[in-house]
């Protein structure tokens, strides 16, 4: 699966990389692969005009939704290269996950420290310019079938973003104080001897939200005895837990994220600036409240609530050392392998 070369050359003009891949099971009766594409901020090709160019030019990431053919069957006409749906993002995304039990909801983390949500049940739309025009709405598609596909009604925009908390905080500060309903949730200052920061009201992290740096990994727990939780990890080692709320009435449905708590794994680790350098998070398959975080300082095991129980296992997982004789002066063949890169 991928994006067509003509689309990349004419509208993106940058090297496109795959940041993350996940599966949406049994969406509309079939499994779909969700591929997250991102590209660096570079000088774009000359404007071609039209609604598609105006819509795509400010994008920084795109999630392509591809149907997975059953067995070894192949799809004619190159439909595997053309996504059936495209999720647009105006900020660079780093990780995404499908909510377990609700395959129509997609959550992604951004380099700005925010979480974005898409609802695949929403009616896809045409790409529209700033004037509200759509190239394909009146049948005026491009002669190139690869470009014409993206001019069609395949686009989705976000239905919710945690940036709302930061904007609410800025508005409250502009009025000279915080309102209880508008104040965002953020991480409190570390406490000596404590296990992790807790969620409080305020702007301790400057950005008005939980994460002030890039969210590097987003994962979702299984549905066991209730709703699943979304785990969001940033590079500083702050992990936040969110519950998806679907609020519906006669006229429309809305989706929101509700913060359930957060922990800071860098507390008490004697790290410069409490920066853990985290990169990946893996949820325990049997104990959904437990998870392992990969960082430059090793593997760290913890849970939503810190405890000293022996049953929870060690907080830090040591990697097996290489087989070499230190007394004889032998060196490991590849010392870089002692630092974990995934879990």
pLDDT, residue 197, reads 46
Evaluate whether 338 touches 322 at the Cβ level (below 8 Å). yes
Residue ranges of the chain whose pLDDT lies below 50: 73-79, 130-132, 138, 178-208, 307-313, 317-326, 329-338
Q: Is 156 helix (H, G, I), strand (E, B) or coil?
A: strand
pLDDT, residue 75, reads 47
For 255-276, what is each residue's pLDDT tens digit? 899 999 888 887 665 555 556 7
Cα 179 to Cα 161, 203, 210, 256, 313, distances in angstroms: 20, 12, 18, 20, 41
- Tell me which DSSP letter residue 55 carries: H
Evaluate whether 242 touches 258 at the Cβ level (below 8 Å). yes
For 95-145, what is each residue's pLDDT tens digit? 999 999 899 999 999 999 999 999 999 999 999 754 445 555 545 567 788
């Amino acid at each position: 699966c991928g994006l067509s070369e003509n689309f990349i050359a004419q509208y993106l003009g940058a090297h496109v990389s795959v940041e993350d891949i996940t599966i949406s099971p049994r969406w509309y009766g079939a499994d779909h692969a969700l591929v997250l594409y991102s590209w660096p901020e570079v000088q774009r090709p000359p404007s071609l005009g039209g609604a598609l160019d105006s819509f795509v030019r400010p994008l920084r990431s795109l999630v392509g939704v591809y149907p997975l053919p059953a067995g070894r069957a192949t799809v004619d006409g190159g439909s595997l290269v053309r996504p059936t749906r495209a999720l647009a993002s105006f900020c660079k995304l780093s990780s995404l996950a499908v909510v377990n039990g609700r395959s129509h909801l997609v959550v992604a983390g951004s380099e700005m420290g925010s979480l974005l949500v898409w609802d695949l049940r929403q009616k896809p739309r045409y790409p529209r310019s700033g004037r509200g025009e759509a190239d394909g709405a009146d049948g005026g598609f491009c002669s190139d079938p690869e470009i014409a596909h993206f001019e069609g009604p395949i686009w989705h925009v976000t239905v919710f973003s945690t940036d709302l908390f930061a904007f609410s905080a800025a508005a409250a500060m502009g009025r000279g104080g915080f309102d209880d309903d508008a104040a965002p949730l953020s991480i409190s200052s570390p406490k000596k001897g404590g296990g992790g920061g807790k969620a409080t009201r305020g702007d301790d992290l400057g950005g008005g939200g939980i994460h002030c740096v890039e969210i590097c990994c987003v994962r979702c727990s299984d549905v066991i005895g209730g709703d699943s939780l979304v785990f969001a990890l940033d590079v500083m080692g702050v992990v936040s837990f969110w519950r998806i709320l679907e609020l519906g009435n006669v006229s429309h449905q809305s989706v929101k994220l509700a913060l359930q708590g957060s922990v800071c794994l860098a507390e008490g680790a004697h790290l410069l600036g409490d920066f853990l350098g985290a990169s990946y998070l893996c949820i325990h398959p049997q104990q959904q409240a437990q998870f392992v975080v990969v960082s430059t300082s090793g593997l760290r095991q913890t849970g939503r609530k810190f405890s000293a129980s022996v049953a929870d296992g060690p907080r830090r997982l040591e990697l097996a050392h290489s087989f070499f004789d230190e007394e004889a002066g032998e060196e490991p063949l590849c010392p870089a392998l002692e630092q974990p890169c995934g879990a």
